[in-house]
Each structure stands twice: as structure tokens, then as C-alpha cells.
Structure 1
Amino acid sequence: MKKHIRVILICLSLPFLWTSCTEKKINLGKDISFDKEENVHYGQSSEQIMDLYIPHTKTIKEKNIFIMIHGGGWRSGNKSQLTFFTLSMMERFPDHIFVNMNYRLTSETHYGLPNQMNDIKDVSAFLEKKLGYSSKLILLGNSAGAHLSMLYAYKFDSYKKVKAVINIVGPADLSDPGFKNYQEYSFVERRLVDPRVVESGTSRIDFASPVKWISESSPPTLSYYGNSDRVIPSSQEKILDSVLNKNHILHESYQFNGGHLDWDKHPNDQFLIKKIEAFLKKTGKK
């Protein structure tokens, strides 16, 4: 990665530079620059914050928005995990707006859903008010963030604002016997979904499974899975591809060499970015 991006990350990591890094212009070279607003509050909770990157471009046309959603088993993690990858994406997509968001985490006292779905919805509403127009959204998440991206796009996006989903090592079917080996599965069963929001006749696990909500109107989906992932079994990729095929949804699926956390390591990260660019061109959304 270029030296100037490393400098930006140093700025983000030093407490005594916090104020100067809060709002500034980020230069990525090749006439690529963004205005950055850090830790913007989009809701009342202290967890509801995001980093916002708006490009400097000569065109005044409405810009598509990447919403980056971190992983962490629904109960941990932070947007800082995706900062470096977000900057790499900004180099490849200089005409897009980028949001790197935190969301309310699941705990023994707070259910994850529907809160985490509402957080994505609130980010979208915040952006629409700030920008003055309703933009097309591209949801990109890894692990639990990929699950939330798919679930929101397939079930909760009632106004069809999501035009593409980038699913990176995301669980798509929580009822899959292979996924039940996940070490936190009992927590997922108990605390991911508030039972009060589940429709009669639907289990909480099915309610939280993105594949259960795929229809012919679901958005195009690109998936990326590790060939030696011990967290997300290979059956998840197969199940998701099968349901997308059945519903005639444009989709692509790729594998990288490595485990659950290796997707953003070189050369896996650059391969993924190239595939995202090609995929969005196919969908006509870039």
C-alpha cells in the first residue's frame, strides 16, 4: 500500500492527533481525494457512529454509497477493523461515497435483531438527509457484517435501495448443521433475535437466516469464502449459491486461500477488489 495511506492510518491511531484527524481532506494520489468526517453520530446510542468519506469530484451527479459493516460475531468488533480495506476501496472507486459504520452490539442484555437492521436503515436515512438525495447503496460486510448486509438487503430493504451486496465470509443459513459447530452458536440462538419480532410459524434462527428471504427481487450478490475457514463451513457458500440460482439472482462466488481472517491479506484483498469492480460493472451500478 502506498506511503500516503500508511500516513493516514498513523493519523487515525494517534490520540494526540485525534482533533486534527476528525475532519480533513484525504489525498490518495492520482487526483483522488475525499473529505473525511470521523465518528459521526447517526443515532442516540454511543455505538451508533460512523466514518464518512465523500469524494472530491468535478461531476455533480448523485453518487453511489458503499456501506462497510464489520464482523465480530454480532457481539464484538469495531469499524476500525475495516479502515485499511476501506481506504483501498476508495482508491479503486474514487467517485463513490464510503461509510464505515459501527452498530449496536448483541449482548446478554440486548438482542442484536432488529436493532442492527435498524442501524443500517438509520445510516441510510442519515445519508439521504445529509446529501439531499436518495442514493443507491452497496452493502459490503465481513463475517457477521456480511450476514447483516445480506439479511438487510434480502428482508429489510423495503424501498429497494440496496443495489448490490458484497458478502465476505458471511453465514447465510444459520440453520445449516455445519454452522451449528460455531463455538458461539448457543449465544446466537439465545440472543441474536428478539423473539417479539418473529412472525408466527417462523423460528428465530430462520428469521435471522438471509437465504430464507431471498426472492427474485433480491439484489445481485458477490461472495468471497476461504478454502480453509474453520468458522464458516463450505456448505454456507453452496447453500447461498443454490438459493440465488433458484431465484435467478445475478451472483458470483469466489474462494481465497486461507482461513476466516485471511480475506484482506495480500493478494486476497486485491483479487477481491478487482472482482468487485468487474461485478459492479456487470450490474451496471458502477
Structure 2
Amino acid sequence: MKKDIKIILFFLCLFLSGISCTEKKIKLGKDISFDKEENIHYGNSTEQVMDLYIPGKKTTRKKDIFIIIHGGGWRAGNKSQLSFFTLSMMQRFPDHIFANINYRLASENHYGLPDQMNDIKKVSGFLEKKFTYSPTFILIGNSAGGHLSMLYAYKFDIDKKVKAVINIVGPADLSDPGFKNYQEYSFVERRLVDPRIPEPGTSRIAFASPVRWIGQSSPPTLSYYGNSDRVIPSTQGKILDSVLNKNHVLHESYQFNGGHLDWDKNPHDQFLIDKIEAFLKKTDKK
């Protein structure tokens, strides 16, 4: 893991002129630097770890925190998948704190929910305690991570600490007939949600669908979907937009030319970061 991250940082150094990198201090240009704390444990499980990036420039202003949530079908994946994207975001948001997290994965012996929701809650509580103030959080995730970002923000963020959600190719309605073509759908039905959690009369698929929990107080949401995605059908974005519209929630959605894994390739990644920056300025005025 550490070797992989060093390789990523090394190539980032070559890619971006004027950058010098060390294991603990990351410099992204002349005036942008971050202190990196790697593989911090926020819980007792070996999976409950995160990489934390703290702006090197000290200010008295309370900083918003990005929580980065990887994809992998709820049962695979790792925070290292989003290390490069996190570094690109850090360049654009040098005054923000970034937490790139792992979470407990679902398996044939372990339900994904509610543990994955509890992991996001544990991360936010850990960060509040570490920085000794009550920050607002921006959840940003791709694929299953996009789904978890939305579900947590719409359903589980009781204290309304989430300022915005950035949903990248995340499924929003698991009951959508188009999504049922997902090759791992039977696993989603069987192992994503602990059957003891939903209230009587609520199916596990309905419980795990973010759109079910959208209300007028839901946080602003930006979505990004591929127009030739064979994993997440285009109907997902349309359903999400419709429900957000109905509840008068500030939102924006964009499409890129490509499939499920193409969102972080040039120029799609830079387009997304541009839109995130503009969108968050709107949420500040909200």
C-alpha cells in the first residue's frame, strides 16, 4: 500500500512542474502544501483507516473537510484508487482538509449496511475531535462511494453536518429496472443490507436507495455520469434529478463522454473539478 502511494506521488511530481514531494509533506506548487498523515485508524477494524491531508498554511478560519469515498461495488476497492484525484482536488482547494477513507467491505459473511454508514459517521466524529471544532463535510465518492455519499447525506446525517454531496457515477435508485442488469445485483439484494435494519414494510433495496430519503432539507448535490456507462444506466441520473427537483434541492448534473471508469481521465477530471469549484461557491451563498 505505502509503496503504491509513493509511486503515485512520484509520478505526480514528474507530471506537475515545480512540485517537490516527501512522505510527510506534499508541496503542490509554490504556495500550496499539505501535511500528510497516512493510514490513520478511526476504528478497531483493520479496514477502518484513512489518509489525511492538512493544509500547511496555518489560518484561524475553520476549514471544511472533504471526505473521499472509493468505489468497488461495496465489496472491493481501496482508498489508493482515489489518491491521484485527491491530490488534484487539493491543488484546487488548498484551504480544505481532505480525508481519503477505507471502510468495512461487504462480503458473503458481512453485510455492507449499516456498517458502511457507521464508518462515515465514525470518520466525521474522529475529525471533529481531532480538529476541536465542528466542521462541515463535503462527501465525494465514485460508484459505490457515490451511493454511500448520497445515502449517508440524505438518510443518516442526523446532525446536518454535510454541506454538499459530489456523486460520481453512483447508483441512486437500486430498484431501477435498468440497474438490475448490474452483474452483481444478486449480491446487492442479498448482502448489501442487514435484513434486521429496515423498518417493517420497507424492502432492503428501498432502504438502500438514496432517492427514497431525499427531502427539502437534503444537502446540495452535484452528479456526474457517463453517457456510455454499462454499469450505471443513464436512467439513474434522471431519477435522481427528478426527485431533487421535486424537493427543491439545489443540484446540478453533468455527463461525460465515456464509460463507468472514464470520469477521472483527462479532460473529464478537470471538467469535474471546475464544476465542483463553481458549485461549492453556490452552496456558500445558499
Q: Shorter-normalised TM-score: what interval?
A: over 0.9
The aligned residue for residue 17 of structure 2 is none
Please state if 1:210 is matched with 2:222: no
Mapped partners of 1:252, 1:11: distance in 2: 33
The aligned residue for residue 138 of structure 2 is 138
TM-score normalised by the chain length of structure 2:
0.93
Residue 8 of structure 1 deviates from its aligned partner by 6.0
The aligned residue for residue 228 of structure 1 is 228
Mark the CA change 1:58 to 1:285 in structure 2 (over 3 Å): closer, same or farther: farther
The aligned residue for residue 44 of structure 1 is 44
Which amino acid in structure 2 is aligned with residue 269 of structure 1?
D
The aligned residue for residue 93 of structure 2 is 93
The aligned residue for residue 122 of structure 1 is 122
Aligned 1:108-257 pairs, distance under 5 A: 108-257=108-257
Equivalent pair of 1:163/1:285 in contact (CA under 8 Å)? no
Equivalent pair of 2:70/2:79 in contact (CA under 8 Å)? yes
Aligned 1:25-40 pairs, distance under 5 A: 25-40=25-40
The aligned residue for residue 275 of structure 2 is 275
SS in 1 for 2:146: helix
SS in 1 for 2:108: coil
SS in 2 for 1:29: coil
After superposition, the C-alpha distances for 1:145-185 in whole angstroms (9 at most, x for unaligned) are 00000000000000000010000000000000000000000
RMSD of equivalent CA atoms: 1.7
Which amino acid in structure 1 is aligned with residue 251 of structure 2?
H
Residue 11 of structure 1 deviates from its aligned partner by 8.7
Mapped partners of 1:204, 1:196: distance in 2: 9
Residue 58 of structure 1 deviates from its aligned partner by 3.9
Which amino acid in structure 2 is aligned with residue 138 of structure 1?
I
Identity of aligned residues (%): 81
Residue 10 of structure 1 deviates from its aligned partner by 3.0
The aligned residue for residue 19 of structure 2 is none
Mapped partners of 2:205, 2:151: distance in 1: 12
Residue 9 of structure 1 deviates from its aligned partner by 1.7
Residue 7 of structure 1 deviates from its aligned partner by 7.1
The aligned residue for residue 18 of structure 2 is none
The aligned residue for residue 17 of structure 1 is none
After superposition, the C-alpha distances for 1:208-229 in whole angstroms (9 at most, x for unaligned) are 0000000000000000000000
The aligned residue for residue 16 of structure 2 is none
Mapped partners of 2:208, 2:83: distance in 1: 27
SS in 2 for 1:63: coil
Mapped partners of 2:159, 2:75: distance in 1: 28
Mapped partners of 2:195, 2:165: distance in 1: 27
SS in 1 for 2:28: strand
TM-score normalised by the chain length of structure 1:
0.93
Mapped partners of 2:149, 2:254: distance in 1: 18
Structure 2 alignment gaps of length 5 or more? 13-21
Mark the CA change 1:30 to 1:6 in structure 2 (over 3 Å): closer, same or farther: farther
After superposition, the C-alpha distances for 1:190-239 in whole angstroms (9 at most, x for unaligned) are 00000111111100000000000000000000000000000000000000
Equivalent pair of 1:38/1:51 in contact (CA under 8 Å)? yes
Mapped partners of 1:285, 1:272: distance in 2: 20
Mapped partners of 1:165, 1:38: distance in 2: 24
Mapped partners of 1:8, 1:78: distance in 2: 14
Equivalent pair of 2:8/2:84 in contact (CA under 8 Å)? no
Mapped partners of 1:95, 1:285: distance in 2: 18
The aligned residue for residue 71 of structure 1 is 71
Equivalent pair of 1:174/1:205 in contact (CA under 8 Å)? yes
SS in 2 for 1:130: helix
Mark the CA change 1:43 to 1:6 in structure 2 (over 3 Å): closer, same or farther: closer
Equivalent pair of 2:111/2:192 in contact (CA under 8 Å)? yes
Mapped partners of 1:191, 1:52: distance in 2: 30
Mapped partners of 1:10, 1:147: distance in 2: 31
Equivalent pair of 2:150/2:167 in contact (CA under 8 Å)? yes
